Chains A and B, each alone.
Chain A
Amino acid sequence: MAEPLDALLGRVKAALARGFVPAPGEAEPAPALVVEGEALFARFASELAQAGGELTKLRASEAPARAVALAAELGARSFARWHTAIVEPVARALAKAGLEEIAPADASEARERFHALDLGVTCADAAIAETGTLLLRHGEGRMRLATAMARYHLAIVPRARLVASLTDVPRLARAGGALPANAVLVTGPSRTADIEGVQVLGMHGALRLFVFLTEE
C-alpha cells in the first residue's frame, strides 16, 4: 500500500548517487517580455483575440450599463459573482435589470444551483499581455464555480492590472503573501478538438469569455 515517504526519499538519494544525472548550472532568470503603454494594450488585445476572448475597453463607470447590455444580448437570465468592490456596481445593475443572482450558501448548493448558470461575473487580479491571460485568485467572496460552471464569463479588469510578461505570474499569484488554496490562469473560453480535430468552444467551462478593460 503506502510506503513511508522516507523510504522513497532514500531510494531517490541512492539513485542520484549513481551519478547519471549531470550537475545543473545556476538558475538563470527567464527573459521577460517587455512591452509598455499603447503597445502593451495592443499586445493584450491581439493575444486575447487569438485565444478566443472578447475585449471591450471602457471607462469604469460605463461597466454596469455595458454589462446589462451584454447580458441582454446573450439572453442571460441568471448570474453569480465575486464579492469585490470592482464587481459590486455591475452586480447591482444586473440585478436591477431583472437577472436573478444565484448566491449559494455553500459549495454543494453551488454545484446544484449553478447547473444552468448563465453568467459569471468576476474581476481579475491581473491580465497578462504575453498570452492574453487572466489571473484569478480564489478565496473569500471569490468563488471558483462562478466561472468554472457558467456559460459566459465576464471579467472586469482595471487597466492598471495589465502586465506584459508571464514571468510576472509568480509575484502576482502571491500578491504579497502566500498562494491562495486555488488560483487559475484563464486563456480564452473553454475548448475541445477531440472530435476529429474540429474546434468547439464551451466544453465544460465558459462558451464565451468577455473582458472589460476599464480605466478611470
Chain B
Amino acid sequence: MIQPGFRERMRLAVLDERLGRALEKTTSHLVRKRDEAFAQLEDSDRQRDLARAAKLRALAHLDENLAAFAARCRENGIVVHAARTAGDAAELIAGLAEGRGSVIKSKSMATEEVNLNDLLEARGVHVVETDLGEWAVQLAREKPSHIVVPALHKTKEQFAELIGLKVGETLPADPAGLVTVARRALRREFIAAGVGISGVNMGIAETGTIVLVTNEGNGRLVTSGPPLHIALMGIEKVVETLADATQILRVLARAGSGQKLTTYTSFISGPRRPGDPDGPEEVHLILLDNGRTEYLASELWESLLCIRCGVCLSACPVYQKVGGHAYASTYPGPIGLLATHMVRPDEKEALVDGPHASTLCGACLEACPLRIDIPRMLIALRKKGVEEKKVPLAERAFAAGYAALATRPLAWRLALAASGKAASLVGRDGFLPSLPSLLGRWTGVRDLPAPPSTPFRAWFAGRHG
C-alpha cells in the first residue's frame, strides 16, 4: 500500500476542522502556560543558559560521561547494555521481557522510536501503556500525536468509547469519571505485571541514577512494583551531575506544561537494596544510539541538547495547523523534523519534505528552554538534500537558473525588462494570480505582485539621472 506523501497528509489534516479546534486550544494553552512559568522564574534567562550549559558539558565529553554513567550504574546493580540500532534495542528488550509475565509501560518516546510494542505483541507479550493518553492511543491502535499530550487529537467522547469498550461498560464522557475507571482498570494491570518498562529523562553520570518525571504517578508504579524494570535511554540523555539534573528540572516542566515541576520526579539508582521493603529485584538499562553518534559528528549535534519538553510543537505554526499525525513519525513538530531524519537518515521524506515543513519563523527557537537553533539545522538539512541530489530535478534546475541570472548583471537587467513585458500580458490588476509549473504551487495560494513594465532601476535613473 502506498502511503500518502507528507504534503497530502498535511492537506488532509488542515481540512479536519475538529482537529484544528483541538490543536488551537491545546497549543495556545501550552504556550501561554510556558510564557507565564518563565515570567515567574527568577532570573529566567540565566537559568536557561545554565541548563543549556549543563547539557552542552554532557555532550562535549559524552564518551567520558557515558563511561562514567555506565560504571556508576553497574556499581549500583543496574545491568547496562548498548544497542546500536532501533532493531537491536527492541530485540534486546523483548529478550529480557519474554517469559517474565505481562508488561506495563510508562510513556517513553524512545520505546516508540524502536517500535517496541509491536515487537512485544508479536512475541505474545501482553503490553499495557499506563499514561492515560498513551493508553487511549494504544486502545485506538494509533500513534501518539504530541510529546506531552499524546491523545490531544481525541475527544472526551472518544475516550469514553475506548475505555468503555475495554472495561465492558457504557461510560459517560466525563473526564473525572473516566479517570476513576482508568485508575481502577490500570491498577489491575499494574498488580499483575511482571515487567515495568520506562524511558529515561536524564541519566546522571556522577551517581549512576535514572531520572524519570511524570504527572500521573505511573512512572513510580512502573518502576517500583514489578520485579523487573527495563529502562531505554538515548545516549544524549546523560548529564554530568545531580546539580546539573536539578537545573534542567528547573526549566523542563516550565517549558513543557507550565508547571514548576512535574508532580513526580523519581531518582532511581539501582534495584532494591538489602532491607528495602519494595522495589524491583532487577534493573536493566539499554543505551540507544540509532543515529545519535552520526548527529554528534555533524552540524546537527545541537539537536541532541533537546530535553523533550514538547514546547516547540506547541509554538510551531505548522504543527498548530496539522498536528502530530501528519508528520507520520515518533517525533513530530520542529525538533521532530531533526529527530526523524536522525533515526531515518536514508528516507527521502525525512531529508527533503520534513525540513521544508517549516516557515523558518523561529518560534521554536524562541520557545525552547535551551534555545536550540532548529531553523539553522533545518536549513542545513535542506542544503544536504540539494547536495545529495535528493531534491526534485525541476527545483534544482530552477534554483540553478535563478543563480545564473542573479550573478550576471546584464542578463539580470534583460530578464527584468522581459518579465515586465510578459507580466503586462498575463497580469491582472497589477498581480500575477497564477504561474505555470513549479511556481504554480507557490502562486496557488498567493497573488504575486506583477513586475512593473519599467524596472525600478530604469525609473530611478530617469528620475535622478
Interface residues of A (CB under 8 A from B): 1-5, 7-9, 11-16, 18, 20-25, 27-31, 33, 47, 50-51, 106-108, 110-112, 115, 130-133, 138-145, 148-149, 166-167, 169-170, 173-174, 178-198, 200, 202-206
Contact check, A12 vs B62: say whether CB atoms are below 8 A apart: yes
Determine which of B81, B183, B298 lies in contact with A203 in the assembled complex, contact meaning CB atoms within 8 Å.
B183
Contact check, B275 vs A197: say whether CB atoms are below 8 A apart: no
Contact check, A16 vs B243: say whether CB atoms are below 8 A apart: no
Instruction: Give the CA-CA distance A15 to B298 in the complex, in Å.
Output: 8
List 6 extra interface pairs beyond A5-B82, A50-B260, A133-B260, CB under 8 A. Answer: A111-B190, A182-B224, A184-B267, A185-B267, A194-B151, A198-B176
Interface size on B, residues (CB 8 A): 107
Contact check, A200 vs B179: say whether CB atoms are below 8 A apart: yes
Instruction: Give the CA-CA distance A30 to B286 in the complex, in Å.
Output: 30
**A-B contact list, 7 entries, CB within 8 Å:** A5-B67, A14-B293, A18-B298, A28-B53, A148-B224, A181-B279, A182-B269
Report chain A residues within 8 Å CB of B268: 181-182
Determine which of A12, A111, A143, A187 lies in contact with B66 in the assembled complex, contact meaning CB atoms within 8 Å.
A12
Report chain B residues within 8 Å CB of A196: 22, 155-156, 175
Instruction: Give the CA-CA distance A133 to B250 in the complex, in Å.
Output: 12
Instruction: Give the CA-CA distance A159 to B242 in the complex, in Å.
Output: 25
Tell me whether A166 and B246 are in contact in the complex, defined as CB-CB below 8 angstroms, given that A27-B53, A195-B132 are known contacts: yes
Contact check, B60 vs A16: say whether CB atoms are below 8 A apart: yes
Which residues 336-380 in B have Cβ within 8 Å of A in the complex? none
Report chain A residues within 8 Å CB of B276: 138-140, 181-182
Determine which of A23, A133, A198 lies in contact with B60 in the assembled complex, contact meaning CB atoms within 8 Å.
A23
Contact check, B182 vs A21: say whether CB atoms are below 8 A apart: no
Determine which of B57, B207, B286 lies in contact with A179 in the assembled complex, contact meaning CB atoms within 8 Å.
B207
Report chain B residues within 8 Å CB of A111: 190-191, 225
- Identify which of B7-15, B88-96, B318-326, B433-441 touches chain A: B88-96
Min CB gap B209→A, angstroms:
6
Contact check, A204 vs B216: say whether CB atoms are below 8 A apart: yes
Report chain A residues within 8 Å CB of B267: 173, 179, 182-185
Min CB gap B17→A, angstroms:
16
Contact check, A142 vs B277: say whether CB atoms are below 8 A apart: yes
Report chain A residues within 8 Å CB of B271: 181
Tell me whether A24 and B57 are in contact in the complex, defined as CB-CB below 8 angstroms, given that A111-B191, A173-B242, A195-B159 are known contacts: yes
Contact check, B246 vs A15: say whether CB atoms are below 8 A apart: no
Closest A residue to B213 using CB positions: A185
Report chain B residues within 8 Å CB of A108: 227
Q: Which 9 A-B pairs have the closest CB atoms?
A: A205-B217, A194-B133, A15-B297, A107-B278, A204-B217, A170-B242, A15-B296, A203-B216, A131-B260
Contact check, B53 vs A197: say whether CB atoms are below 8 A apart: no
Which residues 234-264 in B have Cβ within 8 Å of A in the complex? 235, 240-244, 246-247, 249-250, 259-264
Instruction: Give the CA-CA distance A33 to B80 in the complex, in Å.
Output: 36
Tell me whether A182 and B266 are in contact in the complex, defined as CB-CB below 8 angstroms, given that A195-B132, A198-B175 are known contacts: yes
